[in-house]
């Protein structure tokens, strides 16, 4: 038996990307899955069932995280059936546009999905959490450092980092543990959608943090949840950047970033 065997895990954004990979790894461990996504699960349910050798339950719900009323209703309906032991929240989008090129609508959409969507999910699930339960929220390396072409995305992720630190102070004394997952770039449909959209300078800065395989990133996250760690930063390069941000002056960090931009746009 693993740590996750027979636990009920709610996963948002579970129809693709990191959420789907997490569901695949957990179903092999006999975890009861309650999956949420705005996308249809028709194409992935058969894959999950093929991995379901321990006969765990799989329930699915449509969820638009920007609709607070819908989020409240759907999570309440799910909890009426199976109360969560762990929430894992993965819903998010990138915003690979420079500030000068980005419209107000684009900026607001990133904040609505990433920040307000996270708030909506946490508020909806909170009545069903009790001592010993856990919450894992996906942030990013962009929670700690800006990047060329990521003003909207970094704004949303910096805010998530601050929000989760604050919530941790409120919920941890109640026995509800928080994990913040802050990975570097991972090869997912989100990052693939940036190809041809993000400027070369932004691509160059992202390369500084390296790119992780999705399977390895999820394994690191699950280990962190099992250990009830507050912050999980997978990948050697990502951790080096995190250390640089903690121990070096901002002027040094900005110099490195400006050099990366210059090299990416040279010629």
d(CA 205, CA 257): 7
The confidence score (pLDDT) of residue 263 equals 65
The confidence score (pLDDT) of residue 1 equals 84
d(CA 208, CA 155): 20
182 contacts 234 by C-beta, under 8 angstroms = no
Q: Is the pLDDT of residue 80 over 90?
A: yes
Please give the C-alpha separations between residue 56 and each of 49, 52, 59, in angstroms, as whole numbers. Answer: 9, 6, 10
**Biggest CA pair distance of the chain:** 60
Residue-wise pLDDT tens digits, 229-262? 999 998 877 777 777 777 777 776 677 666 766 7
DSSP strand pairing (134-138 vs 32-37): unpaired
Average pLDDT over residues 17-23: 96
Residue-wise pLDDT tens digits, 195-226? 555 556 555 555 655 678 999 999 999 999 99
Helix 214-226 and helix 17-27, axial crossing angle in degrees, nearest 10: 60
The confidence score (pLDDT) of residue 181 equals 96
Per the prediction, the chain carries an average pLDDT of: 89
Cα–Cα nearest to 232, from 106, 163, 138: 138
d(CA 136, CA 265): 37
Average pLDDT over residues 87-110: 93
- At residue 75 the predicted structure's pLDDT band, cuts being 50, 70 and 90, is very high
What global pTM score does this model have? 0.88
Average pLDDT over residues 97-113: 95
Percent of the chain with pLDDT strictly greater than 70: 86
Q: What's the angle, vertex CA 118, arms to CA 146 and CA 216, rounded to 5? A: 65
Phi-psi region of 17 (alpha: psi -120 to 50; beta: other; left: phi over 0): left
Residue-wise pLDDT tens digits, 33-70? 999 999 999 999 999 999 999 999 999 999 999 999 99
- At residue 264 the predicted structure's pLDDT band, cuts being 50, 70 and 90, is low
Q: What's the angle, vertex CA 78, arms to CA 77 and CA 80, rounded to 5? A: 65
DSSP state of 175: T
């Amino acid at each position: 038996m693993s740590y996750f065997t027979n636990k009920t895990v709610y996963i948002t954004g579970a129809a693709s990307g990191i959420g789907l990979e997490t569901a695949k790894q957990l179903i092999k461990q006999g975890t009861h899955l309650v999956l949420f996504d705005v996308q249809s699960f028709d194409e992935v349910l058969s894959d999950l069932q093929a991995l379901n050798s321990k006969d765990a339950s799989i329930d699915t719900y449509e969820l638009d995280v920007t609709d607070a009323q819908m989020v409240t209703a759907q999570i309440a309906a799910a909890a009426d059936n199976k109360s969560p032991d762990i929430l894992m929240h993965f819903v998010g989008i990138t915003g690979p546009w420079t500030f000068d090129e980005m419209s107000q609508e684009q900026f607001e959409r990133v904040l609505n999905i990433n920040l307000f969507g996270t708030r909506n999910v946490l508020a909806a699930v909170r009545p069903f959490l009790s001592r010993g339960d856990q919450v894992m929220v996906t942030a990013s390396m962009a929670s700690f450092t800006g990047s060329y072409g990521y003003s909207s995305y970094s704004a949303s992720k910096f805010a998530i980092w601050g929000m989760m630190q604050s919530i941790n102070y409120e919920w941890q004394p109640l026995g509800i543990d928080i994990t913040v997952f802050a990975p570097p770039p991972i090869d997912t449909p989100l990052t693939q959608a940036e190809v041809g959209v993000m400027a070369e300078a932004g691509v160059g800065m992202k390369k500084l943090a390296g790119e992780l395989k999705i399977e390895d990133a999820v394994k690191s996250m699950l280990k962190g949840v099992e250990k009830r760690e507050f912050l999980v930063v997978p990948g050697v390069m990502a951790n080096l950047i995190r250390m640089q941000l903690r121990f070096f002056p901002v002027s040094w960090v900005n110099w490195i970033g400006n050099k990366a931009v210059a090299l990416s746009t040279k010629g």
